[in-house]
Copies of this chain bind each other. A is one copy, B any other.
Amino acid sequence: MIKEKIKQAIEILKEKNIDMWLTFVRESSLIPDPMIEITVGTHSTWQTAFIITKYGDTIAIAGSLDVANIKAYGYYKEVIGYVQSIKEPLLEVLNRIKPNKIAINFSIDTIISDGLTHGMYLSLMKYLEDTEYKDKLISAEEIISALRGRKSKTEIKFIKEAIDETLKIFDKVSKFIKPGKTEQDVANYILDLVRKSKLETAWEEKQCPAVFSGPESAGAHAEPTKRKIQAGHILNIDFGVKKNGYCSDLQRTWYIKRKGEKTIPKEVTRGFKVIVESINRAAKALKPGVQGYEIDAIARNYITSQGYKEYPHALGHQIGRSAHDGGVLLCPRWDRYGKLPYQKVEAGQVFTLEPRLTVEGYGIATVEEIVQVTESGCKFISKPQKEIWVIQYIK
């Protein structure tokens, strides 16, 4: 997979006419540049330069003790070791290739393209201070967005496998949810299934799954509490797994029937249907070339037109190696999203669609699906939840 992504990176460098891409890290297991898992595949201890050029070079410059390991992985054709300082071998390679542009991993808008720490940036500037190269540094954001965004067939296959595992777990959870159990009980049950299936959670376990029950539940991103599930609650779960290094990220919603309740309360059904419809409308418009905010606005405006408050987050994000895979975001043009809502959707990208609304007195209705952008539109790769899932009343 890393070989495949390095090859793709070389193509992207050609397409964007950028000579050189430099991933510059140290102790990468402590503060991992998100590119490590895409184009490097192993961690190093001392300052290490992983260089890919549009001419097809792959060069690693690493501390002497890291060399054997990087060579063993075999992704970089040339591996240069140093003992005292990376400066000389780095300048030697730059002088050999003479790049006009050197892309490095920083970005105001996307954390996934922002793996270079500020101290490492200053360190690099110190090495380059007497050279012409210090003025040739650019952000690698567009390379990284393209490389992470354009999924290969294998990558799509892996994401689908992660989705399937998640849906299987949701099926089991439907049988576990009962009034009297706490949000934490449900979370622990899910984490147990994750461990038994030898999977990992798609993001940190404390919030994966996130479980929200009833009208008093905390907002998204909170950890499961000791709050008890009650009849008449809406319950929803935000959860994903990582399999073969690729993530799923899905949300499903349940209603817990009250004693003697024949049908689901109208408000609940209505809220849920509005969510499903907003997803369908957004998916219908999602295709290469549109800007992220246009898609977000379709779902957002539909929900507010139905009399609900707008959701305080993005409609959807890309997914891949990471549950939040960066690049163009389906989000409103809010300051905190920087230029992400203005970027254009490309074929091969995989997005979540995850609007939410509050059904007063019951809880939060939210569904999160996953779609893959095709040449002319998009298709669902998660089996969509079309009806709210019902838990029968049990004393």
Interface of A is mostly: loop
In the complex, which residues of chain B have a beta carbon less than 8 angstroms from the beta carbon of A47? 336
In the complex, which residues of chain B have a beta carbon less than 8 angstroms from the beta carbon of A120? 114, 118
The size bracket of the interface on A is 35 or more
In the complex, chain A residues 75-116 whose Cβ is within 8 Å of any chain B Cβ: 82-87, 106-116
A183 to chain B, nearest CB (A): 12
When all copies of this chain in the complex are counted, the total is 2
Cβ of B34 and Cβ of A336 under 8 Å apart? Answer: no
Cβ of B203 and Cβ of A29 under 8 Å apart? Answer: yes
Tell me if A301 is interfacial: C-beta within 8 Å of chain B. Answer: no
Tell me if A298 is interfacial: C-beta within 8 Å of chain B. Answer: no
In the complex, which residues of chain B have a beta carbon less than 8 angstroms from the beta carbon of A174? none
Q: Quick one: given A68-B222, A324-B30, are A107 and B84 in contact (CB under 8 Å)?
A: no
Cβ of B72 and Cβ of A114 under 8 Å apart? Answer: no
Tell me if A264 is interfacial: C-beta within 8 Å of chain B. Answer: no
Tell me if A206 is interfacial: C-beta within 8 Å of chain B. Answer: yes
Complex CA–CA separation, A30 to B323 (angstroms): 9
Cβ of A221 and Cβ of B66 under 8 Å apart? Answer: yes
In the complex, which residues of chain B have a beta carbon less than 8 angstroms from the beta carbon of A220? 65
Q: Quick one: given A219-B65, A222-B68, are A86 and B336 in contact (CB under 8 Å)?
A: yes
Cβ of A32 and Cβ of B31 under 8 Å apart? Answer: yes
Cβ of B126 and Cβ of A118 under 8 Å apart? Answer: no
Q: Which residue of B lies closest to A67 (CB)?
A: B219
Could you tell me which A residues sit within 8 Å of B by CB distance?
A: 26-27, 29-34, 42-47, 63-69, 72, 82-87, 106-123, 126, 203-204, 206-207, 218-223, 225, 312-313, 322, 324, 334-336
12 residue pairs of the A-B complex, CB under 8 angstroms, read A30-B34, A30-B112, A31-B31, A31-B33, A42-B206, A43-B207, A65-B222, A67-B219, A68-B218, A84-B336, A108-B122, A118-B118
Known: A43-B207, A44-B221, A116-B118. 17 other contacts (CB 8 A): A26-B111, A30-B112, A30-B324, A31-B111, A31-B115, A42-B223, A43-B204, A69-B221, A69-B222, A85-B335, A106-B117, A108-B123, A108-B126, A110-B119, A113-B119, A118-B118, A118-B120
